[in-house]
Structures are given as structure tokens and as C-alpha cells.
Amino acid sequence: MSTTLNHLIQGIPSLGSYAQVMAEMETVLSEPHSTLADLGNVIEKDPDLTARLLKLGNSSFFGFHSRLETVAEAVSVIGIQQVQDLLLVSSVVELFDGIGADLADMESFWKHSLACGIGARCLAIARQMPKAEKFFVAGLLHDLGRLVLFSRAPNQVVEIFRLYQSRRMLLREAEVCILGFDHALIGETLMRSWQYPANLVSAVACHHHPMAAGVYQLESSIVHLADYLVHAMQMGRSGERFVPPLNQKAWERVGLATNILESVIRSIDEQIEIVQEAFLRVPDKAALGHSTTCAQQAT
Amino acid sequence: MPNVKLESLQGGMIVSVDVRNLDNMLLIPAGCALNGRQIDILSAWGIAEIQVEACGDSEDLPDLLQQLPPETLKQLKRDLTAAFWEPVDQSPVQQEVFNLVLRRRAKQALQRERLPP
């Protein structure tokens, strides 16, 4: 089993074409006398990244009322960590750019993932978690393992969906039947190989079983709840046709009142469009096509 | 316009009166929909409570659903129930999510039919 799992993730780079920008940012950040303007100069070398950063900084996602004109201003508002998150997420989007339209509707897949990121961030803020922004990345990457499957094991994906269509079952159960493991384990393994922080890895690894996340139960529970909400809203598609089971203990672990859910759903609805614009490249219309995907056939 | 304590503030609540710090510096203007970062700012300035507009959105569920033709509503409920892997009446949180999503779909259905929500 582990050979197949390792084979699946072998050689997947963590940052793609963004590695250069990230490395230059690290260099600037490590210099004691560097300024936000220096950081801005590094980012401005990438016009696409610059445009998206300004768009995000000026959006309702951050809720600031004065107009941001420069990258340095945007970094000061968004925060250095969030700029790095933007790079990280952009690199993952780029990394899995070529997935065939016959396997998955990627626009819909990313919509689901982004909505989960927004939902996880909102829940973390409501829970007054430190570094709540990190939950956006955790939510966004929760189904990373499915991207690996789509890009590295298309034949098995066809088999998985064939089984999934044949009876009432969850998609991850079909994954286990065909592969011996599910997308959560693939995502966990890949993120470990990228040396991502343990709390982020656990949140992705245990988003279906948050109580198994040991010291990171709370982080995993938040992503689990966000995933549940976004499935219920039918905001995009990850391939799963059902709203997956809710782990009641996860809800109790997070400890919020049920009346918070309304504002989380509203925030997802309000922010999804701007976040899609900021984080996703313009979809390749030719690649999107109009053919029916495996995921759509499952419905 | 209720006073709401910091720990009970939620994203999306509308601030009804300008929020200022002790130096009278404007932190959040009236009319602004709160987000998480602004709640953090309030916390950083030690502000214990602020005034927000009453949120009546959660009380319009019956009205909204009554605007739909009964058959459409029945179909929405049936589709939504079928979408959940497990029954939604097992806990209050599941029931709450079901109701919120049902209302969201009802709004979308009304918009599609170009009826006033």
C-alpha cells in the first residue's frame, strides 16, 4: 500500500514556478533592515501576483475601507503570512492545472475548496483562534489528495467513480475499496513531504475523522465543519455527491453556538467570488470543455 | 440597536454607531459589516461591547418559504433531504444547517422565478 501511496506523490514539487518569488521573499525577510517596499519590489516582479494581491487587499475579504494602491500597502494590510499563503495556494492551483475535464470539473472543485477555506477561516475567527488566517489554507487544501488522484491516477479514478455510481456509498469509501486508502491520507502524505506545519497536515489528514487528530482535534474539527457546511450549500463539487456525515463530537469540540452558522454561510456567499478571482488563474476554456466528468456522471 | 459583547460578535453583523478608541480615533464606521479582523482590532483596543443593528434575517424563514409554491417547496425539501448522507434530525446543529440551506435554496428559487424574496 505504502509503495503505491509514495509512488502517487513522488516528485510533486511544493511551489512550482512560485519557488523563485518565495525564495526572494525569504531572503528579504531574513535581512534585518529590509522594508515592506523591498518586499513589494520582489512581488512586483510577478505582475499576475501583484494584480491578485491588490484585488484581494481591496476586497471585502479583508474589509478595509481605504483604497490600497501599492503592493507594500497591500502587504501591510494583508500581512506577510497571508501573502505567503497566497503564493502557496497559487502554486498548488498551478501544479494541478492540467487535469482533464473528463475526470473532474476543476472550476467546481476549486470553488468547493475555496468555499471550505472561507468557511474554516470564519469558524476559526468566531472561535477566536490565534492565526485564524491559516485555516483558509487548511480548508482550501483539505481535498488535496483528490487532486493527486486526478493527475497521477486517472485510470483508478475512473474505477473509483464506476464503483461509486453503482451503489449508495461515500466517495472516500469507494477510494478505499479501489486503492486501499483515501484522499485524506494522500493529502497528508504529500503535505508531510512538503514539510508543511503539523497542525495544517493534521487538519487535512483528519477532516473526515477529526477526533483522531490528537492534539490538533480543534483544527481538524474546524475544517470538518467547514467541509460539511460547504457540501450542504452545494458550493462547487469535490466529486462527492452527498453531504458527508457530521461528527457531533467535532461540533462540541469547536464549542460555538448554532446561531454562528448563519453568518458563516453568509460570509461564504459574500466572499466566494472575490476569492475565486484572487486565487485562481483564468480557467483554460479549452481545457474546461463541455464534456461530462466522472464526478458529474456520479450524480 | 442592541449592545453586543465582544465575545458574542459575529462576522456580518452591521455596526450601528461609529466605534472609536479612547483617543477618539475611528476604528470602525457605522454601517460597516463586521469581519473577523475588525473583531480582533476591537479586542486589541480593549473594547468590551459595541452597538450593532438588529439582525432580522434569521426570523424570515417561514415567510420566505411561504412565498414558494407548495410543490416547489416540497421538491426543495425532498432534494435537500436526499443530498444528506445521514438523517438531519439527529442533532440541533444538523437541523440548523438543514434549515439555513433550505432557506438559501428558497431564496435562489425565488430569484430564479423573479419573485420578490
Let me know whether A155 and A246 are in one domain: yes
- The pLDDT of residue A63 is 67
Residue A267: list chain B partners with CB under 8 A: 11-12, 35
Contact yes or no for A228/A243 (Cβ under 8 A) = yes
Cell of B70: 407548495
How many domains would you assign to chain A? 2
The whole-angstrom separation of Cα A271 and Cα A188 is: 27
H-type helices in A101-255, by residue range?
A: 106-126, 134-140, 144-152, 154-166, 171-179, 183-193, 198-205, 217-233, 248-254
**A20 falls within a domain:** yes
**Are B35 and A62 a contacting pair at CB < 8 A?**
yes
Fold of B3-51: Molybdopterin biosynthesis moea protein, domain 2 (3.90.105)
Contact yes or no for A137/A106 (Cβ under 8 A) = no
Question: Which structural domain, as residue segments, surrounds residue A64?
Answer: 8-95
Let me know whether A65 and A210 are in one domain: no
Q: What are phi and psi of A111, to 5 degrees?
A: -60, -45
Let me know whether A152 and A220 are in one domain: yes
Question: Which residue ranges make up each domain of chain B?
Answer: 3-51, 57-112
- The pLDDT of residue B26 is 81
Let me know whether A234 and A154 are in one domain: yes
Let me know whether A16 and A141 are in one domain: no
**Are A258 and B90 a contacting pair at CB < 8 A?**
no
Instruction: With a cut of 60, say whether residue A65 has pLDDT above it.
Output: yes
Let me know whether A216 and A125 are in one domain: yes
More confident of the two residues A239 and A97: A239
Let me know whether A45 and A30 are in one domain: yes
Let me know whether A138 and A277 are in one domain: yes
- The pLDDT of residue A282 is 46
Let me know whether A85 and A57 are in one domain: yes
Cell of A125: 475567527
**Are A248 and B38 a contacting pair at CB < 8 A?**
no
Let me know whether A69 and A122 are in one domain: no
Residue A160 region by backbone torsions, left for phi larger than 0, else alpha for psi between -120 and 50, else beta = alpha
Chain B contacts in chain A segment 208-237 (CB below 8 A)? 228-229, 232-234
C-alpha distances (whole Å) from B80 to each of A177, B84, B87, B103 are 27, 7, 11, 11
Residue B86: list chain A partners with CB under 8 A: 245-246
Query: What's the pLDDT band for B111 if we cut at 50, 70, 90?
Result: confident
Among the partner-chain residues B11, B85, B90, the one whose CB lies closest to the CB of A243 is: B85
Residue B38: list chain A partners with CB under 8 A: 63
Among the partner-chain residues A65, A170, A232, the one whose CB lies closest to the CB of B97 is: A232
**Are B37 and A126 a contacting pair at CB < 8 A?**
no
Site of grid cell 516582479: A45
CATH code, domain with A240: 1.10.3210.10
- The pLDDT of residue A294 is 58
Q: What are phi and psi of B49, to 5 degrees?
A: -155, 155
Chain B contacts in chain A segment 254-273 (CB below 8 A)? 258-267, 269-270
Let me know whether A90 and A119 are in one domain: no
Let me know whether A117 and A89 are in one domain: no
**A229 falls within a domain:** yes
Residue range A107-152, pLDDT digits in tens? 999 999 999 999 999 999 888 888 888 899 899 999 999 999 999 9
